[in-house]
């Protein structure tokens, strides 16, 4: 593939003419955008001032407010690169392609949304199949000025005299690929490639797997797919929302600007560990424990643990009530339990059946003892009284306790007897790994808590409704305030007034707010990134969020780092959608230059000799550099190299990827010397720093201008999937790769880098 494509091969003068010729139209588009913003803001300010009216009038007004708020948000995010393309068709028709669609006051289209069917030729037309397209033009702008145009001509004869040229569409792509990284992923609307476009516009229904090597644009294509689906199926998806699941918070921070820059905000971004509201997994544990927790047998363990909490007493229970004694025998309890289980409700809801059955029995017994004949009304009253008797309440809690998921799982892992009873299919060594006292929840616990939440259902709590109402009101006030902050209206609007308007009209609380607070939310579409890392139990949890099974599953089996992760897509998906998933493969590496991919080839072969690396779209002419140092000089050398790299990338970003055991020491040393280094990569601001020190587990999905890999041999030894770790680390740079090592380089890296000193 070409390595040095110029902006165009048209003479400089002709290029300037073309740039000048485009400017007036681009300026008109921005004028139109400004006008629409002004009009929408003014209408919104007017709507905010209005109050009262019939119920219908209020409702209609709220709908207009919601529509205009959304419109204003969208118009506010599309300034950068508003228009990036132009299509000239046979017969002289021309369309401009941009981030959003714009029309003039006569409804004439001025700009076609990149997701509209009319924009497809911009991404799909080829020289072999141009349709009636004669020229595709990429337009590069900075702020509101046209910087360059880059043409592909499909039919020289059809163009007006003097405007022909054999131009290619790679200039804009290469300009974007070689630009310094900023720590945040950018959108690629202007340069989506044909194989990515196929994925982005693939139909909504069913499960689509996107397999591809490092840097093939899986993440970025999946995010553009979310924007495309929201645009094309807005009716269906705007109320249900789209969920994007990523590997960690830093990664989510890295990608969180992409959808807003495409004008889409109805998307929830979450890690697997954040999918159960109210649980913050801050603990860590050995790989072997995570593997057991992720094993599909754990579903049965949780189900059994729940059933084991529904007990029948061995002996008669004697309860003191009102100076009399009531008796519950085992047979009565057993039949109440059978009845409750047959209700097929979750544990906490079925508890009501169990309790009611036993209270009926106790109430009748009590009435008999008193020698009274009582009617149904008295019986109901008596049941209520009995329920609050301490002895009765205690026995109910003993036999069928109300349980939260946290209580169930904590009790299970804290008690070897409980665990042995529930986890018969695990062997003793596996059970031992699960034993836990008061440690914090780990990411692998979250799918277990979710499984438990499904089996238990919500706890019956008389205060819950009031609490939920209070929380809802508070959230609405917060939402209204945020909204006003974002809208930045010229006209002053009282936030309290807006808050009051929102109160009681839950339809206007954003889907993102409602969905992220609700464990049982059913999303219209779910995207799972770095999907190879999910355990079978995590898949069960994610699948619950996508009951319609409309999903995009994105990943690379060769990069599986989690011990409980996937070995093949079939193994992952067949249990949920047997024979009903489709796969697309991406083959071109946009991130990593050829020289770096060559260096990573040995690591890929070590993972699996049959795996084929993606083809790099460019080369830099710069070989990776290795530096061998004495063991006691490693820290000093790493600091020196990190400083050099920070200078080399200027305003770009450097990653120093280190073995986990060296993270603290090396970070401290680099932080003392190189300003703006961040160690806790979990901290979302980590990527704002020039130099980031991280382990291979933290670097998944990210990219940097320059990457320094420290002690690769140690990385290999540190984990059972060391070759994969090394492959991931080596494939992060967009420009420069360096290695710092003390002993010999591992065999798989021999000859991969030029030894510097």
Contact 673, 639 (CB under 8 A): yes
Q: What share of the chain is helix, strand, coil (3-state, %, to 5)?
A: 50, 15, 35
Min separation Cβ 312 and ligand ATP, Å: 53
Give 361 or 703: the residue with its C-beta nearer to ligand ATP.
Answer: 703
Contact 742, 630 (CB under 8 A): yes
Contact 251, 625 (CB under 8 A): no
Give 556 or 595: the residue with its C-beta nearer to ligand ATP.
Answer: 556
- First-residue to last-residue Cα distance in the chain: 32
**Which positions ≥6 away from 408 have C-beta within 8 Å?**
302, 305, 306, 309, 452, 456
Q: Which residue, judged by CB position, is nearest to ligand ATP in the bound state? A: 217
Give 212 or 602: the residue with its C-beta nearer to ligand ATP.
Answer: 212
Give 130 or 701: the residue with its C-beta nearer to ligand ATP.
Answer: 701
Check whether 214 is labelled as a binding-site residue: yes
Q: How far apart are CA 542 and CA 704, in angstroms?
A: 30
In degrees, rounded to 5, the angle at the alpha carbon of residue 467 between the alpha carbons of residues 463 and 469 is: 125
Min separation Cβ 615 and ligand ATP, Å: 13
Check whether 218 is labelled as a binding-site residue: yes
CB atoms closer than 10 angstroms to residue 562: 23
Give 405 or 722: the residue with its C-beta nearer to ligand ATP.
Answer: 722
267: helix, strand or coil: strand
Min separation Cβ 673 and ligand ATP, Å: 28
Helix axes 445-456, 297-308, angle to 10 degrees: 50
Q: Which of 251, 283, 247 lies closest to 443, judged by CA?
A: 283
Min separation Cβ 254 and ligand ATP, Å: 9
Give 200 or 573: the residue with its C-beta nearer to ligand ATP.
Answer: 200
Contacts 24+ apart (CB under 8 A), 66-72: 66/507, 66/508, 68/40, 68/43, 68/44, 69/44, 69/483, 69/487, 70/265, 71/36, 71/40, 72/37, 72/40, 72/41, 72/44, 72/487
DSSP-H helix ranges across 50-139: 55-76, 120-124
3-state SS track over 558-617: HHCCCCCCCCCHHHHHCCCCCCCEEEEEECEECCCCHHHHHHHHHHHHHHCCCCCCCEEC
Check whether 652 is labelled as a binding-site residue: no
Q: How many CA atoms within 13 Å lie on the side-chain side of 541? A: 31
Min separation Cβ 727 and ligand ATP, Å: 10
Check whether 216 is labelled as a binding-site residue: yes
Min separation Cβ 219 and ligand ATP, Å: 3
Give 113 or 187: the residue with its C-beta nearer to ligand ATP.
Answer: 187
113: helix, strand or coil: strand
Min separation Cβ 232 and ligand ATP, Å: 20
In degrees, rounded to 5, the angle at the alpha carbon of residue 684 between the alpha carbons of residues 680 and 689 is: 70
Min separation Cβ 554 and ligand ATP, Å: 7
**Which positions ≥6 away from 377 have C-beta within 8 Å?**
none
Min separation Cβ 216 and ligand ATP, Å: 4
Q: How far apart are CA 158 and CA 130, in angstroms?
A: 13
Min separation Cβ 733 and ligand ATP, Å: 11
Check whether 40 is labelled as a binding-site residue: no
Give me the residues that bind ligand ATP (CB under 6 A), please: 173, 176-177, 185, 188, 191-193, 196, 212, 214-220, 556, 559, 590-591, 701, 703, 731
β-pair partners for 615: 588
Backbone angles phi, psi at 590, to 5 degrees: -90, -20
Helices (H) and strands (E) in the chain, counts: 30, 23
Give 177 or 305: the residue with its C-beta nearer to ligand ATP.
Answer: 177
Q: How far apart are CA 655 and CA 658, in angstroms?
A: 9
Q: Which of 341, 237, 266 lies closest to 551, judged by CA?
A: 237
Q: How far apart are CA 412 and CA 174, in angstroms?
A: 55
Min separation Cβ 497 and ligand ATP, Å: 42
Give 219 or 679: the residue with its C-beta nearer to ligand ATP.
Answer: 219
Q: How far apart are CA 225 and CA 219, in angstroms?
A: 10
CB atoms closer than 10 angstroms to residue 564: 21
Give 77 or 191: the residue with its C-beta nearer to ligand ATP.
Answer: 191
Give 96 or 590: the residue with its C-beta nearer to ligand ATP.
Answer: 590
In degrees, rounded to 5, the angle at the alpha carbon of residue 172 between the alpha carbons of residues 169 and 613 is: 80
Contact 421, 512 (CB under 8 A): no
- Burial of 610 from C-beta contacts in 10 A (0-12 / 13-18 / 19+): exposed
Check whether 126 is labelled as a binding-site residue: no
Give 100 or 173: the residue with its C-beta nearer to ligand ATP.
Answer: 173
Min separation Cβ 172 and ligand ATP, Å: 8
Give 251 or 479: the residue with its C-beta nearer to ligand ATP.
Answer: 251
Min separation Cβ 667 and ligand ATP, Å: 23
Give 544 or 700: the residue with its C-beta nearer to ligand ATP.
Answer: 700
Q: Which of 219, 297, 250 lies closest to 530, judged by CA?
A: 219
Give 263 or 555: the residue with its C-beta nearer to ligand ATP.
Answer: 555
Q: How far apart are CA 540 and CA 575, in angstroms?
A: 10
Min separation Cβ 464 and ligand ATP, Å: 41
Min separation Cβ 586 and ligand ATP, Å: 7
The binding site for ATP comprises 212-219
Please give the annotated binding residues, written as ranges: 212-219
């Amino acid at each position: 593939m070409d390595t040095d494509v110029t902006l165009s091969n048209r003479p400089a003068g002709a290029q300037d003419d073309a740039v000048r010729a485009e400017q007036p139209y681009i300026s008109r588009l921005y004028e139109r955008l400004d006008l629409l913003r002004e009009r929408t803001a003014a209408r919104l300010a007017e709507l905010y001032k209005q109050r009262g009216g019939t119920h219908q009038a209020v409702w209609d007004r709220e709908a207009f407010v919601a529509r205009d708020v959304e419109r204003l948000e969208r118009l506010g995010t599309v300034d950068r690169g508003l228009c990036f393309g132009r299509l000239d068709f046979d017969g002289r028709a021309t369309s401009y392609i941009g981030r959003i669609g714009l029309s003039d006051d006569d409804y004439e289209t001025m700009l076609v949304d990149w997701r509209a069917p009319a924009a497809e030729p911009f991404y799909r037309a080829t020289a072999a199949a141009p349709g009636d397209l004669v020229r595709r033009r990429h337009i590069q702008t900075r702020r509101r000025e046209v910087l360059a145009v880059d043409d592909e001509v499909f039919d020289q004869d059809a163009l007006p005299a003097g405007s022909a040229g054999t131009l290619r569409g790679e200039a804009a792509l290469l300009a974007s690929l070689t630009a310094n990284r900023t720590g945040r992923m950018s959108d690629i609307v202007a340069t989506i490639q044909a194989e990515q476009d196929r994925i982005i516009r693939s139909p909504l229904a069913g499960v689509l797997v996107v397999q591809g090597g490092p840097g093939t644009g899986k993440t970025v294509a999946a995010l553009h797919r979310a924007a495309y689906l929201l645009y094309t199926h807005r009716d269906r998806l705007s109320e249900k929302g789209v969920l994007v699941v990523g590997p960690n918070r830093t990664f989510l921070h890295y990608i969180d600007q992409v959808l807003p820059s495409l004008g889409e905000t109805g998307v929830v971004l979450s890690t697997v560990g954040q999918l159960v509201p109210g649980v913050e997994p801050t603990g860590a544990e050995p790989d072997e424990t995570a593997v057991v927790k992720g094993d599909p047998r754990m579903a049965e363990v949780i189900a059994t643990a729940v059933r084991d909490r529904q007990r029948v007493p061995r002996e008669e229970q004697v309860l003191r009530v009102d100076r009399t004694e009531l008796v519950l025998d085992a047979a009565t309890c057993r039949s109440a339990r059978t009845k409750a289980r047959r209700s097929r409700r979750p544990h906490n809801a079925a508890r009501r059946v169990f309790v009611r059955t036993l209270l009926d029995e106790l109430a009748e017994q009590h009435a008999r003892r008193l020698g009274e004949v009582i009617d149904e009304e008295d019986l109901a009253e008596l049941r209520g009284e009995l329920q609050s008797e301490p002895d009765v309440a205690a026995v109910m809690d003993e036999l069928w306790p109300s349980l939260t998921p946290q209580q169930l799982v904590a009790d299970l892992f804290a008690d070897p007897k409980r665990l042995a009873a529930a986890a018969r299919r695990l062997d003793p060594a596996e059970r031992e790994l699960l034993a836990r006292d008061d440690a914090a929840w780990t990411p692998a616990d979250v799918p277990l808590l979710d499984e438990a939440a499904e089996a238990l259902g919500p706890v019956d709590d008389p205060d819950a409704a009031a609490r939920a109402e209070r929380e809802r009101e508070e959230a609405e006030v917060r939402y209204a305030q945020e909204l006003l902050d974002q809208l930045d209206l010229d006209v002053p609007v009282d936030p309290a007034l807006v808050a009051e308007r929102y109160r009681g009209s839950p339809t206007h609380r954003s889907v993102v707010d409602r969905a992220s607070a609700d464990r049982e939310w059913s999303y219209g579409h779910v995207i799972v990134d770095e999907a190879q890392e999910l355990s079978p139990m995590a898949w069960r949890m994610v699948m619950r969020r996508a009951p319609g099974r409309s999903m995009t599953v994105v990943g690379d089996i060769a990069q599986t780092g989690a011990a409980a992760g996937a070995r093949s897509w079939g193994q992952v998906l067949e249990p949920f959608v047997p024979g009903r998933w489709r796969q697309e493969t991406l083959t071109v590496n946009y991130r990593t230059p050829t020289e770096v991919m060559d260096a990573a080839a040995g690591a890929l072969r070590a993972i699996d000799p049959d795996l084929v690396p993606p083809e790099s779209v460019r080369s830099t002419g710069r070989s990776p550099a290795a530096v061998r140092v004495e063991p006691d000089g490693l820290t000093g050398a790493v600091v020196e190299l990190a400083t050099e790299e920070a200078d080399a990338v200027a305003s770009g970003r450097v990653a120093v990827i280190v073995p986990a055991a060296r993270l603290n020491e090396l970070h401290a040393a680099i932080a003392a010397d190189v300003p703006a280094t961040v160690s806790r990569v979990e901290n979302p601001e980590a990527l704002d720093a020039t130099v980031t020190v991280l382990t291979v587990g933290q670097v998944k999905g990210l990219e940097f201008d320059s990457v320094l890999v420290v002690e690769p041999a140690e990385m290999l030894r540190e984990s059972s999937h060391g070759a994969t770790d090394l492959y991931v680390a080596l494939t992060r740079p967009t420009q420069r790769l360096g290695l710092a090592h003390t002993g010999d380089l591992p065999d798989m890296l021999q000859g991969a880098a030029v030894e510097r000193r």
